[in-house]
Amino acid sequence: MRPIHTFTVVPSLPGNLNVLRELAFNLRWSWDHETIELFRRLDRNLWEETGHNPVLLLSRIRQEQLEDAASDAGFMAHYERVGRNLTDYLNDKSTWYRKVYGADDNVLIAYFSAEFGLTECLPIYSGGLGILAGDHLKSASELGLPLVGVGLLYQQGYFRQYLNADGWQQESYPFNDFYNMPIELEQREDGSPLTVEVAYPGRKVTAQIWRVQVGRVPLYLLDTNIEANRREDQDITDQLYGGDKEMRVKQEMMLGIGGMEALAALNLQPTVCHMNEGHSAFLALERIRRLMETHGLSFAEAREVASAGHVFTTHTPVAAGNDYFAPGLMDKYFGDTYRALDLSRREFLALGRQHAEDEKEPFCMTVLALRLSAHFNGVSQLHKVVARRMWKGIWPGVPEDELPIAAVTNGIHYRSWISKEMASLYDRYLGPGWLERPADQSVWAGIEQMPVEELWRTHERRRERLVAFARRRLRLQVERRGLPSSDRAAADEVLNPDALTIGFGRRFAKYKRATLLLRHPERLTKILDDPERPVQIIFAGKAHPQDNLGKDLIRQIIHFARTEEVRRHIVFIEDYDMDVARYLVQGVDVWLNTPRRLQEASGTSGMKATANGAINLSVLDGWWDEAYAPEVGWAIGRGEEYEDFEYQDEVESNAIYDLLEKEIVPMFYERGRDELPRRWIARMKSAMRAVCPVFNTNRMVHEYAERFYMPSTGHYEHLTADQFSRAKALALWKAHVRSNWPQVRIETVEAPAVNQFKVGDKVEAKARIHLGDLKPEDVAVELYLGRLDTKGNITDAGATRMEHVESHTDGTYLYAASAVPCHNSGLHGYTIRVMPWHEDLWSPWETGLLAWA
């Protein structure tokens, strides 16, 4: 039966508890232990039953409990203190951004992501990408950045996982009740929902806008599940990463194009748009279209302006992880867009192709983002190298080490992941600095002053809590599968709160090799079942619903865990989410990570574990390739790359067993008369001191702001000033250079008369360059000098700008480079190159034009 009228019912709070609603709807509570404890204090059992959702808790709690709390002096003192803290936080004008850049109301960064992992009670995330996006917003709030988030609000979110009796993953999709979640509907003045429309083939799709308040930062989420839409269009925001390719196009249109529409409806005009992965890259097209429509610019002129204000972060080190759409699908959804942008079909599709002339190449969202952004980056130093190799076709002829893909290594928001007990320890020995200046190395030097007894007892308590949590979850899993009562009783006997505990929690994809440790079960069993030095492993993670290989990895673990010798030593916790992740990283002793090298862009779970005192055992990939040192953890291998994966798995599984048998297990159980593993604790401290000040999102967001956001803002404002005169001039100059570039060639090069130099000697060279109708001020000519490798290629090169010294009437010019020093001995070589140059270019490579001798 359908209603004829709808309305919202809100909790009836006693007058002196009204601030509870404000506390519940600002997700600052998700990283503030004192606020969480306030809600838990109202009803501890209900807090757990509601999935740590304060809004749902307030809707379900009995009125008499609220009245009791309002008359409890201790609760009221706690409540008033938490309320004051939130008010002070929101009104603080001394944030990092305010101190450095002042209160500039013209600056606004819009951060777009397909998923946001902020708290487990808002399940609109699937894994690392979303968790990173959530931590990004939290740190932006703490730093005071003028930033807003933009995403989609999924009715079913990502799937809930459960296993059948055989250990095979099953999926369920419960519906999210938005009206009992910490989100609020944006409304017009008349109280009706604020909506936007996005054009799809033959119709328009409407989306309403919800807001999540993340400290000082608002996150706006679009929702198409409203009656004004067709049934199939209501489904656009049903599931995260659900459906086929066509559904993915529709979702990404809503994210990118709808997201820009939503910001306009909210009267927000971003100077910079940050695309967290390629899912939102259609926003670049929409931004260009709006500039053309509003200001009468050509596509080329609007592209200069929009691209100046775009930042793109790629997270995917394998080609299959990027979105590719068939040309026919793009025709269906963007045929009108071609015309609106005044582009031919070929010109439009070329924006999403590495090789613009290849008519069969599909349209790639990553390529679109790279072509229409001024700044782009990978998420670790190693991933930068991989990304440059993957996308070098966009900049033909440019050496890989000069490609304009930078690196900003990921981090974590510590306050969201550190246990309350460990946070208290930090407060006591590091002072407020770890909260206020988490990227300050000097703050974390205080770890050395932390008494080993206190650190170890704190860590032991968290391991005990992890074991208790794992037993509870295992008992529920056994009951849900309908297994016999003997299995339920056995669930209370698994794991040992005093044993060395290894954690493995992540997405179950083939390249992550969750079963690498199981490769030789007899050897593993001997390690686990040692009565004097027992070891235990806790696994958690989801496979994509369509990834049967990933599901089979889970099934293999379940079957192995049922063998009599190890059944008390191995547990798989179902339905991995932020709550499970916190228990794991806060309680394990060792964090295991086994990806194939070069296939893990960054990873962040190991950072969370280290901040809680765990030690990493990982392949040298992603962030660990930067962080590893012998005193802070263990490396599996030494960064080797293999063509034979079977051989690689054999080598690296044995490396893990060797480390466990010879180093890790003996060190953990090496105890003195005080029963403290002092060498182990020393490694814990070394890891915390080295990792924490570097691998955190306050450092990461600060880096984005300094390297990308603020330069992009300046460039964007520069190009829009004086009625876009600079953008128009730049677009005209580029057209002139492109049309004349075929005339550019290096005609002659005058080499030095000698072929042997000493270190410190200086090389001189001259080159005669034909520019045709271009002028010397249109180009930069460089001498490119470096060592030669065994194949005769220049490596470790340096580029020196050559000076224009003579002009000739036939369109040729003489350039010279002098005093270029030789720094190292060995076989060297050089060549000459010519590239376009203009003071308003953000990169010398953005035109894609380059001529070599």
pLDDT tens for each residue of 617-674:
999 999 999 999 999 999 999 999 999 999 999 999 999 999 999 999 999 999 999 9
pLDDT tens digits for 289-315?
Answer: 999 999 999 999 999 999 999 999 999
754 band by pLDDT with thresholds 50, 70 and 90: confident
Q: Could you identify the residue written with the tokens 């990461």?
A: 700
Tell me the pLDDT band of 7, cut-offs 50, 70 and 90. Answer: low
Using one digit for the tens of pLDDT, what is the confidence trace for 248-276?
Answer: 999 999 999 999 999 999 999 999 999 99
pTM (predicted TM-score)? 0.96
Q: Report the distance separating Cα 830 and Cα 832, nearest Å.
A: 7
Taking only the tens place, the pLDDT of each residue in 64-94 is 999 999 999 999 999 999 999 999 999 999 9
pLDDT of residue 485: 75
- Mean pLDDT, range 451-465, rounded to an integer: 98
Please check the confidence at residue 11 and state whether its pLDDT lies above 80: no
pLDDT on residue 10:
66
Q: What CA–CA distances, in Å, run from 218 to 89, 138, 140, 259?
A: 15, 10, 11, 14
Looking at every residue in the chain, the average pLDDT score rounds to 95
Task: Kindly provide the b/e burial profile for residues 790-815, where b requires at least 16 CB atoms within 10 angstroms of the residue's own CB.
Answer: eeeebeebebbebebeeeeeebbbbb
Q: Which residue reads 């279209």 in tokens? A: 289
Give, as one character, the DSSP assignment of residue 514.
Answer: T
Q: How many CB atoms lie within 10 A of CB 494?
A: 19
pLDDT of residue 4: 64
- What's the CA gap between 281 and 324, in Å, rounded? 12
Question: In the structure encoding, which two tokens stand for residue 359, read together?
Answer: 């008519």
In this model, does residue 5 exceed pLDDT 70?
Answer: no
Cα gap 42→57, rounded to integer Å: 9
Q: What is the pLDDT of residue 829?
A: 87
Nearest residue to 412 via CA among 167, 606, 264, 161: 606
- Using a pLDDT cut of 70, give the percent of the chain over it: 99
pLDDT of 814 > 90? The answer is: yes
C-alpha separations of 432 from 89, 142, 437 in Å: 15, 14, 8
pLDDT beyond 70 at 766: yes
